[in-house]
Amino acid sequence: MALDPKIADRLKRTPDGLVPAIVQQHDTGEVLMLAWMDDEALHRTLTTGRATYWSRSRGEYWVKGDTSGHVQWVRHVALDCDGDTVLLKVDQVGAACHTGDRTCFDADVLDVLDVTGAP
């Protein structure tokens, strides 16, 4: 089976056929990670309820949690207004990041210069 043409026609992919997927915890809105999907990965995600991505480094599909046990149960999927980004809201079991951190954004928090004067 293939991705529904109504969805596929809306996607704006990178030259290598991918769209970024932002992944959030469904009940808190916590941003967990960013991954990449092609049409097949999105189709698998929509039809299995398990987050499936395309690994650019390994050149293969991966289902989040198959090796780590840190499963992402998909609760909601949406395209942004331009069709160039997918938002997945998931129920994350365990760590989302391959480093073992809860999110991929825990380790390197950057300082921001306050130019607004806000307290």
Mark the binding-site residues for Zn(2+), compressed into ranges: 81, 97, 104
Pairing of β 60-63 and β 52-55? antiparallel
* Residues contributing to the annotated binding site for Mg(2+): 80, 82, 84
User: In angstroms, rounded to a whole number, what is the distance separating the alpha carbons of residues 25 and 99?
Assistant: 18
User: In this structure, what DSSP letter does residue 50 have?
Assistant: B
| Residues present in the chain in total | 119
List the binding residues. 80-82, 84, 97, 104
H or E element at residue 77: strand 72-79
